[in-house]
Structure 1
Amino acid sequence: MSDLIVHQIPCLSDNYGYLLHSQKTGETATIDTPEVEPILKALDEKGWRLTHILNTHHHFDHAGGNQELKTRTGCTVIGPRDEASKIPGIDRAVGDGDTVEFGDVKTKVIGVPGHTVGHIAYYFDEAGIAFVGDSLFALGCGRIFEGTPPQMWESLSKLAALPDATTVYCAHEYTQANAKFALSVEPGNEALASRARQIDELRREGKPTVPTTIGLEKATNPFLRPQSPNLQETVGLEGADLVDVFAKTRELKDNF
């Protein structure tokens, strides 16, 4: 049984920050640093002391608050090895297959390049939670800025291989827009249609649609479903290689 607590923080216009707290050791990490003041406010309200920053990638809405938080708290900054030169205040660079000790557990680092060249995710297997940054979203995936479609598909496949019950914390509230696109490419997916209705209700009530789970994404997220005959037919690539179907789906989303 894990002693870890996750506290979700709305930041900027549509980002989520996360505080991860070990009840046993008192250590607290922020997963990325989208906005300093909401993070500091949450720490103060919880009575937690920031000990770590775990960065997923270098984009400003993920690492822009690093230096100020490090200066104000003395925390240790851990980030992706392949983007180390772009991670402010980095103390330790990690990559695929590495482990990071936090509290009395270890997190496995999973390399998920595509959105950026060195993007990583943090998987706490004992707790059944994963922090995936901008690699995987609820009903979506990150835009491919620095990588290639084959690289991004391989990264998403790594995440899809995690246990279905894994709770996935992604970094943005994009789900309602993602659902509209998902329905356009897999209109015959009844699980997706039902989920889209639930998402609309949550947003009407001002509630978040994140976190999600690996199992839910595998059932409804088109970017994890290139094998779907309905999706293949819609994008015009029936029987095609899964990478090609994924790439076409991502291209359609970019222009949706």
Structure 2
Amino acid sequence: MLVERIWTGNALRNYNYLVACPKTGEALAIDPLDAAQCLHRAKVRGWHITQLLNTHEHADHTGGNAAVVAATGAKVIAHHKSGGRIAHVDRGVQAGDTIKVGKTVELECLDTPGHTLCHICLLAHTDEPALFSGDTLFNAGAGNTHNGGDTALLFKTFDEQLSRLPGNTRLFAGHDYLVNNLKFTLSREPDNAHAQALLQAVAGQDGDAAPVTTLQQEKEHNTFFRLDQPRLIAKLRESVPDLAEDPSAQDVFVALRTLRNRW
């Protein structure tokens, strides 16, 4: 499996992706907002885009669909309940469905509600597994839920799906918010040495140079995976004094996401 991460450099700090079969050169475009860059990169690589997947319906993920389809004839894939929120969907997918790219690439669809109610992540079961997480999971952070989402469902997605994936799974997120997310982690866990070291390493870099982390690394520096840490909970209670005496993991997750909304 060949992966091309495309840094758009726009105000929303989007990443777009091409996933290609090394044998056939067929490629899947994931959230190709910057259609021009995606088409150019595919041409340089000698790939032909035959499919396009939108992880969810927000315009900063679907805005390049029309141009990519016009240039390539790619089939549009999206959540089976996305309905009219994404135009001209050719294939609706749900949990457990497989997207095949060429002869060698198979991506499993995960139904991952939270950021929106109809959100798909893609999981590649390769020697080095990979997760294309859209706006569900970010490097050192979690998606927001204030544009058609649900924080309790996002917690459930983290708890029942993402946290159980292999630690060596590489994370390919929909945006580069790494620096701000690490700063938020450190506002909650000032003594998190992993977050401190990574923040120092990426200071001054733009999204094009940001590292690709693994889920094991995320569990070390992403506060949304560290809900049982006593120091995190004690610090959280300073900002959320009505937090339960013995809060559940969901209580902690929701409180953190609420703080991140206004941080």
Q: Please, what TM-score do these two structures have when normalized by structure 1?
A: 0.93
The Cα offsets for residues 72-125 of structure 1, whole Å up to 9 and x where unpaired, read as 111111111121321222100011222222223321111111111101100011
Distance 1:197 1:52 in 2: 38
Distance 2:198 2:19 in 1: 28
> In the alignment, which residue of structure 1 is the partner of 2:136?
135
Q: What pairs up with 1:63-212 in 2 under 5 angstroms?
A: 63-103=62-102, 104-126=104-126, 127-145=128-146, 146-157=148-159, 158-200=161-203, 203-204=204-205, 207-212=208-213
After TM superposition, give the deviation of residue 243 of structure 1 in Å.
0.3
Q: 1:204 to 1:53 in 2, by over 3 A?
A: closer
Query: What letter corresponds to residue 53 of structure 1 in structure 2?
Result: L
Tell me if 1:253 matches 2:260. yes
Distance 2:95 2:129 in 1: 18
> In the alignment, which residue of structure 1 is the partner of 2:33?
34
> In the alignment, which residue of structure 1 is the partner of 2:6?
9
- Give 3-state SS (helix, strand or coil) of 1:8's partner: strand
Distance 1:183 1:35 in 2: 32
Report how many residues are paired: 251
Asked whether the 8 Å contact 1:167–1:211 carries over to 2, the reply is yes
Query: What letter corresponds to residue 155 of structure 1 in structure 2?
Result: T
Runs of 5+ in structure 1 lacking a partner?
Answer: none
Distance 1:101 1:28 in 2: 10
Distance 2:206 2:51 in 1: 33
Query: What letter corresponds to residue 69 of structure 1 in structure 2?
Result: V
Distance 2:134 2:206 in 1: 25
Overall identity of the aligned pairs, in %: 33
- Give 3-state SS (helix, strand or coil) of 1:212's partner: coil
- Give 3-state SS (helix, strand or coil) of 1:51's partner: strand
Asked whether the 8 Å contact 1:188–1:230 carries over to 2, the reply is no
Tell me if 1:241 matches 2:248. yes
Distance 2:56 2:168 in 1: 25
Asked whether the 8 Å contact 2:5–2:18 carries over to 1, the reply is yes
Quick check: 13-22 or 206-215, which moved more? 206-215
Q: Please, what TM-score do these two structures have when normalized by structure 2?
A: 0.90
Runs of 5+ in structure 2 lacking a partner?
Answer: 238-242
- Give 3-state SS (helix, strand or coil) of 1:248's partner: helix
